[in-house]
Structure 1
Amino acid sequence: MKGMNEMLRQAQIMQKKLLATQEGLKAKVVEAASGGGMVTVQANGGQELVSVAIDPSVVASGDVEMLQDLVLAAANEALKKAKELMEQEMGQVTGGMRIPGLF
């Protein structure tokens, strides 16, 4: 029974570390750009978009389809980087162990 109690205690400690890491990830920001920097998107480690910056020259061109493509490309890249950041940070807490539903 002592072994089971120790395992539960360690699981609780890991859970607290995971929650703290998740909160910390929301403060970390990654950035991605497309169109040679004409569109820049930032996302946090919680995989939330936090900002989009569009060069005024892209808007002035009137090419809506190009602008949509640039925003989509930058957003997808920012979210990819945010996911990689989350996996790296969570992997440090879990010792590289893949926990289903966590990431």
Structure 2
Amino acid sequence: MINPQMLKQIKKMQEDIKKVQAEINASTFYGQAGGSVVKVAVKGTKKVEAVEIKKSEIDMDDIEMLQDLIVAALNDAFNKVDKELEETLGSITKGMNIPGMF
């Protein structure tokens, strides 16, 4: 038999998780590479919002380097989203292993 108090706690946890996910999805995370030669902004949904490149510090003959910097900056921002999700949701679930959560 399921404990009614436990059901209440689970329901609250679900509500808290939805709230946190909505807040993170609405937040903007920033990544950079090459000493901030390339900066990016992404939403918590991992939708890219902006890419900023310092043209004065880029060798336009070395497109491969620019491509690598963009990828590195995006990965930096995406890692920040993942870390925020893991830390915030982890504090709600208090170490419970919920399949498919992370």
In the superposition, the TM-score normalised over structure 1's length comes to: 0.82
Overall identity of the aligned pairs, in %: 36
CA shift digits 1:69-94 (9 cap, x unpaired): 00011111111111001111111211
- Change in Cα spacing, 1:97 to 1:47, as seen in structure 2 (3 Å) is farther
In the superposition, the TM-score normalised over structure 2's length comes to: 0.83
Which contiguous aligned blocks of 4+ residues in structure 1 show a shift greater than 6 angstroms?
none
Q: Following the alignment from structure 2 to structure 1, what is the Cα–Cα distance between the partners of residues 3 and 54?
A: 58
**1:1-103 pair list within 5 angstroms:** 1=1, 3-57=2-56, 61-103=60-102
Any gaps of 5 or more consecutive residues in structure 1? Answer: none
Q: What's the CA shift for 1:47? A: 3.5
Any gaps of 5 or more consecutive residues in structure 2? Answer: none
Q: How many pairs does the alignment contain?
A: 102
